[in-house]
Structure 1
Amino acid sequence: MKKVTKISANSIAVNPKLRVAAYCRVSTDSDEQMVSLEAQKAHYEAYIKANVEWEFVGIYYDEGLTGTKKEKRTELLRLISDCENKKIDFIVTKSISRFARNTTDCLEIVRKLTDLGIFIYFEKENINTGTMDSELMLTILSSLAESESISISENNKWAIHKRFRSGTYKLSSPPYGYDYVDGHIAINKEQAQIVKRIFREALSGKGTQKIADSLNEDGIPAKRGKDWNASSIRGILGNERYIGNAILQKTYTDEHFNRHHNYGEREQYLIENNHEAIISKEEFRAVEEVLYQRSKEKGIKKGSSKYLNRYPLSGRIKCSECGSTFKRRIHGGINNKYIAWCCSKHIYNITACSMRFIREDAIYQAFVTMINKLIYGHKFILKPMLQSLRDVNYSDNLSQIQKLETMIEENAERSQVLMSLMAKGYLEPALFNAQKNELRKEATILREQKEVLSRSVNGGMTVITEVELLLKFTARSVQIDSFDEELFKRFVENIIVYSQEEIGFKIKCGITLKERLVI
């Protein structure tokens, strides 16, 4: 016989409250900052308890500590540990910069907590990692990481330039035909014979692709065991290092970390007789003349590509697997031809890169989709990103610039005092000269450091300008229904191909937005 039991209303389980914690931080232990911390703690305790669907877990706070590295903040680490131990469901914090000034750490923490099903609400930016698309959120935070990296990159460049000027810069990798031996460049005799062969064949009238083909047929590997191609041959024939010289800073990296050939945009440094030559200067110049004459006959100018601006996508599509540029091809039969873009390395050697071709019409459609997403969602994509960039780019660097300016002024005052003491006969000439030289060196270093930081701030301002322009366009535009070449060139730096089904548009403001390819 069936048994029926009545369940009263109050015995039905209710949804548990969301366990919410707050995280606060101040960067110094001054009295003023401590007041700020107490205000934050009081605000978030009241804020969390005011929500009837939330359960107040507690407040985690670090005081008198920098936010640069998460390893230095014990309370943040304790917060993460409690999340891993299922004690917290949701986190509230003031802003991205308060949560983690090092946005690489911020990305890592967001990913870790998202995987645990725990989300963060950044009050200032009005960003909730649980309600936004996670990839979009990480894209915004990644743009902040790039702005931070600009400062680190500029400091590295400053150190490299000092070694350029002193002639002490060590080549990152010696060219084919040379090895590093005891810290110095020495000729690799076996490879040097190949270099001489390449120059001989170029003088005999062989083209660069034919030279490459002959080396591959003879089973001679290029650098790192790769196959030869026309580009690698041209690189050898035009490399001044084979006559013993070295030109430094042939390439440079811009504020978006894109590498460019240096055609006069940056200063260069020539070191003559830097190492032992493999090719004579006369033979090198003769080959240079042959290459110049051949390029002149074909209408190709040095420092440019014949087809660089022929199509909207020319030179702008990069392979994520091997880094090569994609080339335009015509695919299909007589009645169903279509335009495709193929990885140049895959074209020459399928085994060297497995990346398949992508259709041009699919790229165009993906661009339309990406722009329309930005137009539709500019308020919660670009606006918080712009505000975050403005917060990140200035405070630390401008403060450091101000300190350097003060130090430069103090250096000038000490120099003036030194001059006065010398004029009054209180200092011996030898002591005066020694101290004067020390002050000059110190002033030079301070000015160079200030210049690096100023460039870093200017680079950040460039990113902000690009975001502002993109935000202005998307806020005033309607959805587009077809590919716009001018729009593409204005906002897109390049396209990264991840697979035959997915590409990423690297926007000039620094973010990369992924899109699916659909035909």
Structure 2
Amino acid sequence: MPQVQVIQPIQQQPKRLRVAAYARVSSDSEDQLNSLAVQVDYYTHLIQENPNWEFAGIYTDEGITGTSTKRREQFNRLMDDCRAGLIDRVLVKSASRFARNTADALSSVRELKSLGVTVAFEKEGFDTETSNGEMLLSIICAVAQEESLSISQNMKWGIHKRMRTGNYITNATPFGYTQINHQLVPEKNNAMIVNDIFKSYLSGMSINEIAEHLNTIYPKENSKWNPRTIHAILRNEKYIGDSLYQKTYTTDSLPLKRYLNTGQRSKYYAMETHEGIISKTDYEKVQNLLAKKSITGEIDRTCVFSKKIYCSICGAICSRKGPPTQGFVWCCRTHLQSKALCLLKSIREDELQQAFLSIYNRLQCNQKTILEPLVDDLLGLRHLQEQKYKKRLALGEDIQHLAKQKHNLTRIHTLGYIEEPQFIERSAAIEQQIRERKQQLSRNDMSNTSEKILQKTRLIQKKLSSTPPLELFDESVFKELVKKVLISNTAIQFELINGMKLSESRAAT
């Protein structure tokens, strides 16, 4: 008989799992923050002391509800790192810390499973690597979701009761006030500004003029006064010492969203809840004046060029200046502060209108040579994106299949059906394949930018085809097509909604 020599496989050490932890507290109270610090310390030591684990970081959200993932910055960063193939396993204290919204929880867990990332829930004693993990998670998250909604309903009931009795204490402090022992008290300097706003409006100044006046006399450190803020101050009943409760409301079901209360819920008007800043007579005069201007359409009508005209020299936004009788001009705000800081010359509004007419009519005549080739290129790019999407789907399925193989291999090894050397070799090979698929996923990252450009280019084509050449400036056409206008001393550049930039020379001055 021939002699057979057994050549043992090379024993490779299995790759250390890259393990991260996620912690969340729903409020920023001292007790909750202490709890968060304890969780961070616990998981940091737990991961770093395990020789088979590699520390991949701790992700924490403070004072954020678990009913939605939108505002959970660290949770979303954790998901992004998992998509990038930087994490193999996630530890969480409990399912309620992961999410109180069943749909969000299952969606996130399924995506992580498709990426080959498992999630372990310590309190409940299970992880998503097991076959019944997802079923248990859905049950636990459903209970947590109902518990969260129940707490929300109880809190709403208590708040509404305090509103009806006039004992509700708002967390919001209006400009001009400070809170002392949960009571609104006028703050001397800012109360003077509030008085100035009301007197200026009663004297005949417009809301825009008041905003510009305040930016000159009472400039803010990190922001500017704007017409919307002035309008809100003029409408706020708290400046006469009264309080209107439940101006907004939150929905009763997930996802919890806040809306302006325009009659969907009861409102509660409490009189003399604190010291006023403005007399009730002046306040009533202002409300009557606002109502009249609103009816006649005189209340600070926004120009179609507002927030679209920018200086190409310093990048500042341009402001509209001058009386209507002499024609408006647009000036760089930096230039208005100091001519030495920016040398941009003002531009007449009628020149902007004529420049747009020229650009529009020229584009309409030449859309076959300008827009159609662009659309063809974008359609080709869409085809490449579709191929890339199919490849990503295939890679995701491969990762999920390999993750199942790894799980089955671990089970049969635990049951003693496979020897240690074979388990190590096969496990290392599967992990290597998973890593390669994840790297390919990160290289084939999808972007819908080209699709948005294509859609907006077609909107431009549709508008150009349905509108005759313009003889007069059309505000609606400008608003639909133009995203931004850059002004220099020699040219006017229009950036269209699809990112295309077209320039027109400025008139010589």
Larger radius of gyration: 2
TM bin, normalised by shorter chain, reads 0.3 to 0.5
Q: TM-score, length-normalised on structure 1?
A: 0.38
Q: TM-score, length-normalised on structure 2?
A: 0.39
